[in-house]
Amino acid sequence: MGYAQLVIGPAGSGKSTYCSSLYQHCETVGRTIHMVNLDPAAEHFSYPVSTDIRELISLDDVMEELGMGPNGGLIYCMEHLEDNLDDWLDEQLDGYLDDDYLVFDCPGQIELFTHVPVLRNFVEHLKRKNFNVCAVYFLDSQFVSDVTKYISGCMASLSAMIQLELPHINILSKMDLVSNKKDVEEYLNPEAQVLLSQLNRQMAPKFGKLNKSLAELVDDYSMVNFIPLDLRKESSIQYVLSHIDSCIQYGEDADVKRTSE
C-alpha cells in the first residue's frame, strides 16, 4: 500500500510553496516523503524532485515542436501522460517501496480538475496500483475578501471533488496575508444563511433565487469547509498534514502491525 497527496488548485494558489514547506517540515520531523512534479511547465523547484513529468514531456518542447500555445500545450502534455500511464508512470512507481508517501505537485489549469478527464484517469491508475490518494485543494485566502469570489472558489473545489471522487481536503492558503483572522472565520465552515445574506447584500435583487441555490449547494455539500494554512507556523503545517494522513489512513496500518506484534 502506498500513500499519495494530489496537490491541486488554481494557478498561484500556493501549491508548490506548500510542497516545499511540507518537504522541509517532514525533514525536520524525520519523516520521508517523495516529491513528484506533474507540471510540464515548471522550471524552478525549492524541493528535491524525485519523479518529474518533464522527463517524459515538457511544455517548452511541445510549444516549440507543435506550435501550440501554453494552455493547449499543457493539455497535450497531460494527455500524453495519460497515454503513458502503463509504461512511463508504472516504471516510475516501481521505483518506490510499499508504504512510500508521494506528493504530486499538479499544474494549476482549472480544466484539469473540472472537465478534462486526465487527472481522474491518473488517480484511477494510482488506486489500481494500490495507492491511498487524497486530493488537497488550495484556495488563496484572498478569495475570502469577497463573498462572490469565495463562492466561485467553492464551486471550483466542488467540481474537483465530483470529478476526482477522492477523499478531499480544502486548504485556505497564504493565511499570513490575512490581517484580521475573524474576517475568514465564518468562511471556514460556511452556513447557508450567512452566505445568502452576504450575497444578497452585494448583488442585484434579481439574483436572489440564484444566490439561494448557490448558498444551499455549498451548505448541502457540507464537505466544503476549509482548513487555514499559515506556512510560518510548523504547527499549522502539522495540523494540515495530520488531517490528510487521517484521510488516507497513513500510520494506521503501521499502528495495527505494531499492536499485533
- Chain residues binding ligand GTP by CB under 6 A are 9, 11-17, 39, 107-108, 173-174, 176-177, 231
- Separation CA 193–CA 210 (nearest Å): 14
Residue 18 CB, nearest distance to ligand GTP (Å)?
A: 7
The length of the chain in residues reads: 261
Half-sphere exposure of 171 (CA within 13 A, CB side): 31
Q: Are 223 and 161 in contact (CB under 8 A)?
A: yes
Nearer to ligand GTP, 23 or 132 (CB): 23
Nearer to ligand GTP, 12 or 26 (CB): 12
Residue 8 CB, nearest distance to ligand GTP (Å)?
A: 9
Among 101, 93, 157, residue whose Cα is nearest residue 129: 93
Nearer to ligand GTP, 46 or 222 (CB): 46
Half-sphere exposure of 18 (CA within 13 A, CB side): 31
Residue 154 CB, nearest distance to ligand GTP (Å)?
A: 18
Phi, psi of 3 (to 5 degrees): -130, 145
Q: Are 135 and 102 in contact (CB under 8 A)?
A: no
Residue 113 CB, nearest distance to ligand GTP (Å)?
A: 12
Among 153, 83, 91, residue whose Cα is nearest residue 117: 83
Pairing of strands 34-37, 49-52: parallel
Residue 260 CB, nearest distance to ligand GTP (Å)?
A: 41
Residue 232 CB, nearest distance to ligand GTP (Å)?
A: 8
Nearer to ligand GTP, 110 or 194 (CB): 110
Among 55, 2, 1, residue whose Cα is nearest residue 33: 2
Nearer to ligand GTP, 214 or 231 (CB): 231
Nearer to ligand GTP, 13 or 163 (CB): 13
Cβ neighbour number for residue 231 with a 10 Å cutoff: 20
**Taking the mean position of all CA atoms in its chain, how far away is CA 23?**
16
Nearer to ligand GTP, 215 or 231 (CB): 231
Which cell goes with 235? 504547527
Q: What residue number has its CB nearest to ligand GTP?
A: 108
Residue 252 CB, nearest distance to ligand GTP (Å)?
A: 29
